[in-house]
Every structure is written in structure tokens, then in C-alpha cells.
Structure 1
Amino acid sequence: MGVLKWVAMGVGVLLAVPASAALIEGRVVAVADGDTLTLLDARKRQHKVRLTGIDAPEKRQPFGDASRQHLAGLVFGREVRARCPKKDRYQRQLCKVEVDGKDANLAQLAAGMAWHYRAYGKDQGLFDFTGYALIELEARYRRRGLWADPRPQAPWDFRRARREAASGWGLGGIPVVGKTVG
């Protein structure tokens, strides 16, 4: 009986939202892109929220605007509940956002408007991690949204390429032609 108790507790830890997670409820007043929004709470305080578990195309990427519009259609002007276990380096709340009891993060994946951000999977419970991965696979299979593109570029690759181009270094640390190396 003791082993079952430990297994049950372990599963509970994997599936649970951390107890220290902040719960923010309010109206969405802005949608910056397909994974970032601004929430106004009952005290009229604004919260910059980054949706966890997903990474949407950047504004300058193909499907960047479509992703933002899809998220706006889901949440803009609506009351939402955000479960936010931590903040990112930009001090945005990292949250799972629910609108009418539905997971908006998951809806972005299902519509093919974002990638499952596996690199930060340790921040998700096992249930969410597995569900998000499966929903992304289904969107890919059905060629929804950005998956209609034969070679979609992941946003983290897009950002890295832009950083390297701005620094004068190409992919893989090879200097860009025409740039001087100091």
C-alpha cells in the first residue's frame, strides 16, 4: 500500500500546476502577437502575459499576423483566467490562459498557429506537455495554419538567425560576407 501512495503522489506532482502559481483573472486588453497578451485585472492593473508551452511565429515571419489575429479572436475583450507559475527574463507572467474554461494555449496549437515549445517542457505538467505535443502533431498532420507551409521556420530559429545576422556572424559561427571581423 505504501508504494501506491508514493506513486499517486508522484503522478500528482507531475500533473499539478505548482501551488505557488499566481492566478490572475481579468479582461484581455491587448494582443501583441500569437503568444503574448495584456490582461487588465479587477484593480485596473495591467499584466503582460506570455503563454506557456507554445511559441508563435514572430511578427515578421510567415503566419505571424495570422497567429496574432487567431489569439485575438479567442481572447481579446474577454474575461480570462491565467495560471502563472513564474515570470520570464522580461518580467512577463508565464501563464496557461483559459477562456470559457478552454485552454487558449492549446487552441493556438490546434489551429496550427504555434509550435509546442518543448525546450521549456519542464515548466509544464506531464498532462499538458503530452497533450500539447499530440495536438501539435495533429495540426502538422492535417496541415493546419503554419503547417500548410512546406518548410515552416520555428520562431527560435528565426530569432537566432536574426541575432547572428545583426552581429555579423552567420549560422554556425561563419562570418557573413561583407562584414569585418574584429
Structure 2
Amino acid sequence: MPAATTAALVCLILYVSDGDSVTARCRSEQGSAWQTPIRIADIDAPELHQAFGMASRTQLAQLCLHREALVTPQAHDIYGRMVARLQCGEQDAAAAQLQSGMAWLYTRDTARKAALVPLEAGARHERAGLWSQKRPMAPWNYRKRYGAHGSSGQPRADSAAAQ
């Protein structure tokens, strides 16, 4: 797998692990192909066993699964996943997840944050998705409390997705 770069890749989304993680088959300009796990940059979605976890996964699958996506790598995380911006069709996956209330904003990139804050704020105001709950628990707090396995005690479908 090539090192993280800012050059965009064209990838086919093969599998959606949860609301912010996918597996894709990417190809280089030279024609070589490889399969890679991708963590969507700038968001953190509910864990699968958490309220709205499956709904978040379903929303992302409807947007991206079995479709070509434009993937712009940003880095690699401690689990070896590519952290990338993901555009499925004409839609930015992070923006779509935030706007529908299926993820929390999770970025240090100030320019990107400025563009995404209004989307999360709108979802909160409309009480969309996870914001319909009285006190939604952020996934980083959920992982701290329950770990990567969640409250069921069973390993998640993508247990490496916990940060």
C-alpha cells in the first residue's frame, strides 16, 4: 500500500464497518490495486453497540457502499488505517454524516472545522439522528467507559475502529 499522500485516489467501497470506517479497493495511476481500511477524517461516529451506531453505519452504506469514491489521504492512524477525506458521488461523507446527525465533528484542522461546524450545529438544532437523544454520549466517552467491545462484551465487527 502506498504511503499517505495528498493526491486523491479512486477507490471502490467494498465494506462499511461503522459510521466512520470503510474498506476499499483503491488503484493508483499506474494501475496497481490494493485493499485498505479507511477511517473517515474529521468525524467520529457512534460505536455499533451504541445508540445510533447501526443507523450511522446504514447511512454511510447508503451513501458509499459498492460505489466509486474519491479518497484524499490525510494520515495513517495507530491501527494502520488510512485516515482520509471520502467523497462518494458528489457528497463529502463526513459532511453527510454530520448533517444527518450520524456523527460528531472530530478534527483539529481549523479550516475544515469552520466548514463542518455549521452542519453539526444544524443537526443539533433540528434534533436529527443522535441529537434526538436527551444526552447523547460521544463515542470517545463510550469507548472510555465500555472499551472497543461495547456493552455486549462481544468484539465489534471492526474492533480496530476504536481510537
The answer as to whether partners of 1:22 and 1:85 remain within 8 angstroms in 2 is no
Corresponding residue of 1:3: none
**What does residue 34 of structure 1 align with?**
19
Cα deviation code 1:29-64 (max 9, x no counterpart): 000000000111233411110001100000110000
Q: CA deviation at 1:154?
A: 0.3
TM value normalised by structure 2: 0.81
Whether 1:63 aligns to 2:26 is no
- How many residues align structurally? 141
* Equivalence for 1:76: 65
Rounded Cα–Cα distance in structure 1 between residues aligned with 2:56 and 2:5? 30
8 Å contact 2:68–2:88 — kept in the other structure?
A: yes
Query: Residues 76 and 20 from structure 1, CA distance in 2 versus in 1: closer, same or farther, beyond 3 angstroms?
Result: closer
Deviations 1:146-167 (A, max 9, x none): 000111000000011124xx9x
Q: In structure 1, what is the Cα distance between the partners aligned to 2:36 and 2:143?
A: 24
Provide the TM-score with structure 1 as the length reference. 0.73
Structure 1 residue ranges without an equivalent (≥5): 1-18, 167-182
Task: Say if 2:162 is the partner of 1:156.
Answer: no
Q: What is the aligned partner in structure 2 of residue 127 from structure 1?
A: 111
1:83 CA displacement: 0.6
Partner Cα distance (1:140, 1:32) in 2: 25
Instruction: Tell me what 1:139 maps to.
Output: 123
- Structure number with the bigger relative contact order (C-alpha 8 A, sep ≥ 6) is 2
Q: Is the radius of gyration larger for structure 1 or structure 2?
A: 1
Query: Any idea what the Cα deviations from partners look like across 1:14-38, whole Å, max 9, x if unmatched?
Result: xxxxx94242211100000000001
Shift of 1:132: 1.3
Structure with the bigger percentage of helix = 1
- Look up the SS of the partner of 2:46 in the other structure: coil
> How far apart, in 1, do the equivalents of 2:126 and 2:54 lie?
21
What is the alpha-carbon root mean square deviation over aligned residues?
1.7
Contact 1:109 1:116 in 2 (8 A): yes
Q: Percent identity?
A: 36
Distance 1:23 1:93 in 2: 12
Q: Write the distance in 2 (CA, Å) between the matches of 1:107 and 1:138.
A: 12
Instruction: Point out where structure 2 has 5 or more consecutive residues left out of the alignment.
Output: 151-163
Q: Distance in 1 between matches of 2:72 and 2:119?
A: 20
SS in 2 for 1:74: helix
Q: Which runs of 4+ in 1 moved over 2 A?
A: none
> 1:71 is aligned with what amino acid?
L
